[in-house]
Amino acid sequence: HPHPDAVEYALSARTLVESGRFAISVNGTELPSRYGWGFPLLIVPAYLLTGVVYTHAIYAVLACSLLNVVLVFALGAVLFGPWAGLVAAGILALYPNQLNYAGRLMTEVPATFLLALATYLFLRGRFFPAGCAFGGAVWFRTPLVPLLGLYGVILLWRRAGMKALALLLAGPLLLWGVNHGLERAGVVAPPSTTGFNLVLSSYRPYAGTKTAPSQEQFEHPWRTYIHSAVSNPGSFLADRALSLYYLWGPCAWEIRSPILKWVMGIRCPLFILSIAAVFLAWRARAPFPTVAALFSPILVVTAIHVMFFSTSRFTFTMEPFAVVLSVWALREMVPSLRGRVGPETGGVTITREG
């Protein structure tokens, strides 16, 4: 059975193709979508090329999934050497979560592709296209917005200049301006899941909640969330710790297959190695800005989903970066690998755009 989100994406893309409007059309009735219009817009070319058949929407996801592997190779090869790129791309191509969501009509795959593309362009000093790719990623996954701030900090730290920062910001601001204009004109509707997720994070089953949230609480999600934290801080902190475990722990609790539960556990050492890469890079100094840029998506997405709630699918957008960082960390920790998995000093210098 398709995920409810997938149904909305496919229906929205069909309405875009047939009438040029962003809405869900069911039996002649148009309903607003709960999600942004980026993913349906990506599905449109698949419909135009192969016909408006709902199952054909998956072609857009498959294309992005293949490009994710290519980008991980490029990130690993350019930053840390060709062997690092090959190893990282091979791991990602066979990674269970990546294989699973390559066949699902969900935003994880295209958001990951655009985020990886943005990071690659950022590290290569192509700041305006990096900003545009980042703005596109936010269309798919709104919680990625704080990541732009970390990229800006890295630019300022590397003294890349205000022009570089302006070029980086210009891309997403341009795209967000277009999106805001379309929302104001009523062409598209703003996504409406943030408040729902805030309230839901205070009423998770593992939090011991016995009652369902009220309509008033849904109408004031931030107040509900803060009240939950202040009124019962112990349970709130325990809940956040459980969210971190469900996100990166060694056992994927929601997967039924006992084998897959532990196969997915590879995410735990990847997370640990990614953190180790930050400390190793800090000690080595030279590749630290590169490693910091690669770790930034992991930091931001982890923080956001710990704040809300977590499942194993939410690691998806972070996995390419975790794989690349893990390969580099292993190379640094195992001297015999240094000559095989990349140069002695990895990374590119983030400087002014030429």
- Residue type at 108 in one-letter notation: E
Q: What is the pLDDT of residues 132-188, one digit of tens each?
A: 999 888 877 777 888 888 888 888 887 777 888 899 989 888 888 887 777 777 666
Tokens of 75: 């990130």
Mean of the pLDDT values across residues 56-80?
Answer: 89
Percent of the chain with pLDDT over 90: 17
Q: What is the pLDDT of residues 18-56, one digit of tens each?
A: 777 666 766 666 666 666 677 888 888 888 888 888 788
Measured CA to CA in angstroms, residue 119 lies from 62, 88, 129, 178 at distances of: 21, 16, 10, 23
pLDDT for res 129:
93
Residue 29 has phi, psi (to 5 degrees) of -110, 130
Return the residue matching tokens 């475990």.
245
pLDDT for res 218:
65
- Read off the pTM: 0.82
pLDDT for res 55:
82
Q: What is the pLDDT of residues 331-350, one digit of tens each?
A: 888 765 555 544 444 444 45
Task: Please work out, in degrees rounded to the nearest 5, the angle formed at the alpha carbon of residue 91 by the alpha carbons of 69 and 300.
Answer: 70
pLDDT for res 348:
47
Residue 77 near residue 85, CB atoms below 8 Å: yes
Measured N-to-C along each axis, helices 147-157 and 127-140 cross at an angle, to the nearest 10 degrees, of 160
H or E stretch covering 19: helix 4-19
pLDDT surpasses 50 at 1: no
* Farthest CA pair distance, the chain: 65
